[in-house]
Structure 1
Amino acid sequence: MDVNQVVEPPFNKLLGFQVTEWKNGHVRIDVDAKPEHNNTHGIPHGGFLCSLLDVACSMPGIYCAKPNRVRRALTLSMNTNFVGQAKSSKLHAIGRIVSAGYKIFHGSAEVYDAEGTLLATAHAVFKYRKGSEDPEGMSLEDWNHLVST
């Protein structure tokens, strides 16, 4: 899939997340943390990292290779561990599928800074939204109709 065709929620764009790799079972998301993303110590806020981890855990499970089709999921739970402090504002997250069934999937992700320092890890459980259980997803038209009703 062309990562330039990724339909992202406005929240992801607001935070500056950029999907640079995406395929079935894998995603890479790059972001340049801005001062407004930092805590009082001048490093990326834990809530910012949690948002990045949530997206990185979910995207491998909602990949759809069919053009103009989408899959969506809801986060049911996420466990996060903070393990390091960023030494740069350039961050990236790597996400992957741990296991997947028809309605539920598990994902994991890690966030690193530009120096390769591991900052945080997460494991999350997701439920496919109606119409997203099929790996071929649903048409954008059907999705837009579903969310507008």
Structure 2
Amino acid sequence: MSETPLDPRLDEDPYALQKHLGFRLTHWDVDYARLELPIEHFLMNRAGIPHGGIYATLLDTVMGYAGCYTGDPGHKKLALTLSLTTNFLSRPIGHVLIAEGRRVGGGASTFFAESTVSDETGEIIARGSGAFKYRKTRL
């Protein structure tokens, strides 16, 4: 996927959890999204590595974005997670977590997506897949 910057028209104000954790949307396009999260001390578990819930949150979030792109800031599409599978593969070597999600199928009311979390060195840390339902109410 190209490293085109996020269209500033689509850059939404961070919501509470996003502000709390510190991740940001860096790319959003048809069937694709990318998030970045600097690794901070408050994200760590007892072993001194990011908590697995952080990876699961990034995987879930980036897949939701990947399936909800409209390209029109006046027409937001939202989804609810129906299922989320997470596999933990490694631990970060670098200092930034990068989550990439891709919509891989679906229809008018549901979609399926896959995602990875890696770091800036290319170390793949976690993989996820999920099923999502579009919310009937659109913003």
Do these two structures clear the TM 0.5 threshold for a shared fold by scoring above it? yes
> Which structure: greater helix fraction?
1
CA distance in 2, matches of 1:8, 1:130: 22
Rg bigger for which structure?
Answer: 1
- Answering whether residue 60 of structure 2 is matched by residue 51 of structure 1, we say no
CA distance in 2, matches of 1:110, 1:7: 24
TM-score by length of 1: 0.83
The residue aligned with 1:95 is 101
Question: How many residue pairs are counted as aligned between the two chains?
Answer: 133
The residue aligned with 1:106 is 112
The residue aligned with 1:5 is 11
Moved over 4 A (4+): none
Contact 2:10 2:72 in 1 (8 A): no
Note the aligned Cα RMSD (angstroms). Answer: 1.5
How many Å apart are 1:4 and its aligned residue? 5.8
Residue type of the alignment partner of 1:72:
L
Q: Percent identity?
A: 33
Aligned mate of 2:129, from 123, 132, 146: 123
Equivalence map 1:132-143=2 (5 Å) = 138=138, 143=139
How many Å apart are 1:67 and its aligned residue? 2.7
Aligned mate of 2:20, from 8, 11, 14: 14
CA distance in 1, matches of 2:16, 2:75: 18
How many Å apart are 1:95 and its aligned residue? 0.5
The residue aligned with 1:42 is 48
TM-score by length of 2: 0.89
Q: For structure 1, which runs of at least 5 residues remain unmatched after alignment?
A: 132-137, 144-149
How many Å apart are 1:89 and its aligned residue? 2.6
CA distance in 2, matches of 1:29, 1:71: 18
How many Å apart are 1:3 and its aligned residue? 6.4
Residue type of the alignment partner of 1:24:
V
Contact 1:26 1:95 in 2 (8 A): yes
